[in-house]
Structure 1
């Protein structure tokens, strides 16, 4: 996760960076933080995922104008504005502001990072070799089930498309677990965000498909699903 901070006052800049570093270390999240004292300095290399941007900067720089520049150049960074004047927040709709943080309440940084991770956890592309040996890309946001299919794995997508790839389901489960997927049976891995209903022996996915929960996986699955809902559901 690449994070930028644009704040002209060193005291605030250091406070914000310290809080972000603590959060990422506590959550064991890989991170890179770049801090800037001006928007001009930041715009030399605006390649970040989340930007904490002061609205009122030195030398007449305006945080909203910096955000507009990012939009015009196609930058997809999420922007969290920092301000001591909350009445300015109403202008943020023009630049699709992700969050506002009153500098008197920096504890809101944790909630901002929580919400940001919700939007990003499955924003990943994985690759595998299909049955013809061709390398294909799979968007995790669109993947809702992986199952064994003979000696292959079948990746089932939301649009009904399916990919048959080489691999072992245990290895796939390990690599996908960090992105909100769980192996609920020796033959099935499900995307936790697409589970509609759960009972003692099966789950129902968003397309109505029912998948059996293996007895050996039941307890761990219920715990993982509960934690997922606590963390990611609104």
Structure 2
């Protein structure tokens, strides 16, 4: 795994790097530092899958953290970005560019450990699967699946780019998914909580406006799980 730390303050940048080196304590994890957003962007343009985690300062000369994040996610929307800032009032703007987490400077080590633990769970769901639909094979990121619908011995995987019908039972698919992100709302449906727009008490409305049924026995569990998901992803 490769992690990028981008901050224009040399001492802070080095402190984060040292903490990450100590936290992972593994030759399989490389920590790379950058003093400005443009340096980082240039490396990602050369290899969009170079980094699995990015720590990004917001206030930097030249290309600031928000603009850097927009460019990075235009190249690869799947890289989780943790923003570093001395100004917590900027947090809402950061979520507009799909920030994974905000950490206030000076960074509290316990909060940093929690962020790393959460991001590891998130990355576990970054798996790719091969699906064959109508004789054509496709590679999908698991977390790009918005929801899954059972159709007898088949399941339909719905993504923003289209749907893919594969021969697999929904119970089998459920065991492969990260339960921090996916929820079995109904015997015929699994939803990705990242793509939920609202819940009216009887059905789940996805961001593509699809209405997903939820069984009565799952409603309380869904409310708890959704609140937990939102809490963990809004810090």
**Shorter-normalised TM range:** 0.5 to 0.7
> Which blocks of at least 5 consecutive residues in structure 1 are unaligned?
23-30, 36-50, 56-62
Secondary structure of 1:147's counterpart equals: strand
Structure of higher CA gyration radius: 1
The root-mean-square deviation of aligned C-alpha atoms, in Å, is 4.3
CA change 1:118–1:101 in 2 (3 A) is: farther
Q: Does 1:138 align with 2:140?
A: yes
- Displacement of 1:174 in angstroms is 2.0
- Displacement of 1:150 in angstroms is 2.2
Looking at structure 1, the residues matched to 192 and 218 of structure 2 have their Cα atoms a distance apart, in angstroms, of: 15
Secondary structure of 1:155's counterpart equals: strand
1:203 corresponds to: 204
How many pairs align?
194
Runs of 4+ in 1 over 6 A off after TM superposition: 5-8, 114-119
Q: Does 1:213 align with 2:217?
A: no
Normalised to the residue count of structure 1, the TM-score between the two structures is 0.60
> Which blocks of at least 5 consecutive residues in structure 2 are unaligned?
70-80, 87-104
- Displacement of 1:186 in angstroms is 0.7
Match of 1:96 among 45, 49, 68: 68
1:154 corresponds to: 156
Normalised to the residue count of structure 2, the TM-score between the two structures is 0.60
Looking at structure 1, the residues matched to 222 and 20 of structure 2 have their Cα atoms a distance apart, in angstroms, of: 36
CA change 1:2–1:174 in 2 (3 A) is: farther
2:224 corresponds to: 223
CA change 1:196–1:64 in 2 (3 A) is: closer
- Displacement of 1:232 in angstroms is 2.2
* Residue pairs, 1:1-234, within 5 angstroms: 1-3=1-3, 12=15, 13-18=17-22, 20-21=23-24, 32-34=28-30, 51=32, 53=33, 55=35, 67=40, 70-71=43-44, 73-75=46-48, 77=51, 79-80=54-55, 89-93=60-64, 96=68, 99-100=83-84, 105-107=106-108, 110=112, 113=116, 123-130=126-133, 132=135, 135-159=137-161, 161-178=162-179, 180-233=181-234
CA change 1:202–1:33 in 2 (3 A) is: same
Looking at structure 2, the residues matched to 231 and 204 of structure 1 have their Cα atoms a distance apart, in angstroms, of: 21
